[in-house]
Structure 1
Amino acid sequence: MTRSTLVFQRCLAFTLERLGYKVAQMPRAKVLRLGTRLGRLGFWLVKRPRTTSLRNLRLIYGDALTEAQRRELTRKVFEHFGRVTLDFYRSALRGDDNILELVTEIEGWESSKQALDAGKGLIGVGGHLGNFEIFARYAAKSGVPLTVVARDPNDPVFGAMVKKIRQSGGYEVVSKGGASLRKLFVALKKGEAIAMLTDQNSGDVFVPFLGIPAGTVTGPATLALKTGAPLIVSYCVMKPDSTYKIVVHEPLWPKENESEASLMTRVNLALEEGIRQYPEQYLWLHNRWKSAFEEKNASRWPSGYDLPALKAKWQGG
């Protein structure tokens, strides 16, 4: 973690701790405006994620976006995550009934119910799109028995605050890592749901993501292939009126003799739909293609891609 990122996370944690329960009493519109300002501060303060976002957008959109448009979209991304962070904090303090009121549109929810009724459990997969924290609380409040795999924030101060809020959400939280694997198998065997975000840089397998091979985790596919549980891509995005819309895709049932790479390719394709529709709500700030462009992984790319040209584009050449 860079020093600038650490400073921003500490600044955010300090702001939330200082305001405390005052945030819960604020009108929501005021909280969202404050979140926008904090996000804008992060845009100017935190250089490396800003640079990473501009590079990722150049790779994916190419000449379809000018440098000024990429910079504007990056600023909007910072502002979005400032808003949803404070919105989640406020909503959690006010109680889960408030969270239910914030979700005004749901698409495909019956898909998850039908998958759970099959008795093999359910593996919810998503990305850093929209407000994934509110989605988890909404699902738990709606009666879905849920275990969430969460990566702890790098900054311990900010991480402790996030962990405390998550633990009050009515779902079990396990840290990312091998020690949690048994708990996930147990939950699926009981016919329950587990959830994880799958869009972080990895070296497991290299499959297309937004049209470019990216290092992608295989854990969700491994669980699905071993248990027969379906993968369901879902996300929760903020609408123009500042309420939320939940989108649940059709279950991706593992096919006979299907590879992990094939199954995760299907996951990525479903997740792409939401990212392309709501690019300002996606975490472009993450170095998603880091492993993909490392020299040691060049031989692991699928065929049909001009790796040198894509790498030069990613680097700004």
Structure 2
Amino acid sequence: MPVVLRFFSVLPLWLLHALGAALGWVAFCASARYRQRFCAHAALAGYSFGAVRAAVAHAGRMVAELPRLWLGAPLPCRLEGGACVEQAYAAGRGIVYLTPHQGCFELSAQAAARRWSAAHGPITVLYRPARQAWLARLMATARNRPGMLAVPTTLAGVRQMLLALRRGEAVGLLPDQVPPAGQGHWAPFFGRDAYTMTLAVRLARQTGAAIVLARCERLAWGRGFVTHFEPLAAPLASPLEAAVLQINQAMEQLIRQCPGQYLWGYARYKPPRAEAASPAEPGA
């Protein structure tokens, strides 16, 4: 399998996106469960299928571009709204980047690392190791790009993120990812309760880090990407439950800026899995 991934990592982006678009539609047509979840989640947000049908192809493009992201040459990505990042670093604060499952979300961290890590240290990103041994080994190395450090969703990984923030560095999280049981709160997301991580809020509160919202938009015809940055609209609310809701609302706003590239088929409302052996919450 690594040989196959390396083959795809050298293909031009336009070809990967064309193959991925076809893959996305094959998956959508082949799985009734996936179609139902996709349409139901879009409807919760007020979108008809016609309004977000582009997201079917973009889900496939996300998969097809992974070999290039992990193993290939850097992808072209323009940055917009970086003033809020510069301001946070100038104030001596660490940064918690938050991005939803939208567009090329992995590239948002890579692009930020290329721009700022030389001067301000690497970006530490949290990831869930794969169950397949070969894929777990690949992810552990491929995601450690220049200026980036990938850490697993364990207590040790969270501690590394805390240390990075206290050094004034940056970390990256997907706050619309369902955390394990005991590591989140139920909060509305597009009007329906979803189990939502508290980790982002706890990291920011314990270190004084700035929260920066990021979304990486995929351009048409393989022309590259644009990563947009913006600050959280208001300081984190109190208590914790209110801050978690605030993060969900911020993710909703990002998604509405480009709904055709959100992963509507992601199982956002599933119950959390049990994971008693590895509490990944600081200060719990």
TM-score by length of 1: 0.73
Q: Does residue 26 in structure 1 map to residue 11 in structure 2?
A: yes
Cα distance 1:92–1:190, how it changes in 2: closer, same or farther (>3 A)? same
Cα distance 1:213–1:179, how it changes in 2: closer, same or farther (>3 A)? same
Q: 2:255 aligns with which of 272, 275, 281?
A: 275
Q: Does residue 259 in structure 1 map to residue 244 in structure 2?
A: no
Q: Does residue 118 in structure 1 map to residue 54 in structure 2?
A: no
Q: 1:245 corresponds to which residue?
A: 226
Q: 1:226 corresponds to which residue?
A: 206
Q: 1:288 corresponds to which residue?
A: 268
Preserved contact between residue 148 and residue 171 of structure 1 (Cα < 8 Å): yes
Name the amino acid aligned to 2:193: P
Q: 2:175 corresponds to which residue?
A: 198
Preserved contact between residue 84 and residue 131 of structure 1 (Cα < 8 Å): yes
Q: 2:108 corresponds to which residue?
A: 135
Report the aligned-residue RMSD: 2.7
Q: 1:80 corresponds to which residue?
A: 58
Question: How many residue pairs were aligned?
Answer: 264
Q: CA deviation at 1:158?
A: 4.0
Return the alpha-carbon distance in structure 2 between the equivalents of residues 108 and 155 of structure 1.
Answer: 38
Deviation larger for 133-142 or 189-198: 133-142
Deviation larger for 266-275 or 220-229: 266-275
Structure with higher Rg: it is 1
Gaps of 5+ in 2: 273-284
TM-score by length of 2: 0.81
Return the alpha-carbon distance in structure 2 between the equivalents of residues 208 and 183 of structure 1.
Answer: 30
Return the alpha-carbon distance in structure 1 between the equivalents of residues 247 and 11 of structure 2.
Answer: 38
Q: CA deviation at 1:191?
A: 0.4
Deviation digits for residues 28-54 of structure 1, max 9, x if unmatched?
A: 322221222222332234454333223
More helix by share: 1
Map of 1:45-124 to 2, 5 A cutoff? 45-61=30-46, 65=48, 69=50, 73=53, 76-96=54-74, 99=75, 102-104=76-78, 106-124=79-97
Q: Which has the higher contact order (CA 8 A, sep 6+)?
A: 2
Gaps of 5+ in 1: 1-13, 293-317
Return the alpha-carbon distance in structure 1 between the equivalents of residues 5 and 45 of structure 2.
Answer: 39
